[in-house]
Structure 1
């Protein structure tokens, strides 16, 4: 997997401890970049860097309006940087992620990993504005998540067997 250094800033929200999140974050980011076929655009073996900000709905709503002109919170925002060691910033909102995980009957950490993968793909140039782009991005997300043992986020939730 590509070498990536992740800088984590917990600004707000009821996030699990960084020590619990970091291993999952490292696996998810590495798998996303590998699925994307990303190669560092710089020489010297310097690791790539990603900044991940863990925050709440209020903070991400302010960013969403300021940068995208959309009111209200969103689950993840990505801010790519020009080619270089810093790939960019990913901001995630805890309440929105938690609510989505509950509504879709997914584990919170699985949903978190999915949105981190999604954000990483944005940082390296993928988007989902048109259907073909969305399909490509979803395929890469599935590949990356499968690599780290997380089920297809676009599949139907498993229904427990009844006896």
Structure 2
């Protein structure tokens, strides 16, 4: 079960529907062999993300995604994704929106599963993008 909360509605920079987001998460669960569990995804603005980022990590400014692993059995945790930062980074890095969304959600999902930054996490993120994206993530659009 995936709960999606949109604090940002009808943003043309983020055209993915809740159904498409759920499909990505079900794909991630399959790629990473997660048999069961629930999570929530909150889509927010940079303003909301900057406040959360400072309160939680002490870092100033927005970030693309924050992960809050669950502490209860069956609860994977909460993800918070800044739609503003996603749109900005997609443009700056010349990325396909769908692929980059998969990359960020995979990154956050792996944190929920207990992974930390490093080569293994990078490889697993690449695996998710290659498995779920329609095209090669390393080919420039």
TM-score of the two chains, using structure 1 as the length reference: 0.75
TM-score of the two chains, using structure 2 as the length reference: 0.85
1:79-121 Cα distance to aligned partner (Å, 9 max, x none): 0012512211000001110010001111222212211111111
Residue range with higher mean Cα deviation, 139-148 or 30-39: 30-39
Question: Where has structure 1 moved over 4 Å in runs of 4 or more?
Answer: 150-153
Q: Which has the larger radius of gyration?
A: 1
1:79 aligns with 2:68: yes
Please give the alpha-carbon distance, in whole angstroms, between the structure 2 residues aligned to 1:13 and 1:61: 18
Equivalent in 114, 122, 126 of residue 138 of structure 1: 122
Q: Matched residue of 1:84: which SS?
A: coil
1:12-37 Cα distance to aligned partner (Å, 9 max, x none): 36546x99423332232233333334
Please give the alpha-carbon distance, in whole angstroms, between the structure 2 residues aligned to 1:83 and 1:6: 16
Matched residues, number = 140
Unaligned runs of 5+ in 2: none
Equivalent residue, structure 2, for 1:26: 22
* Alpha carbons of structure 1 residues 92 and 33: separation in structure 2 relative to 1, 3 Å: same
Q: CA RMSD in A?
A: 2.3
Residue range with higher mean Cα deviation, 71-80 or 108-117: 108-117
Structure 1 residue 151 displacement after superposition: 4.7
* Alpha carbons of structure 1 residues 80 and 145: separation in structure 2 relative to 1, 3 Å: same
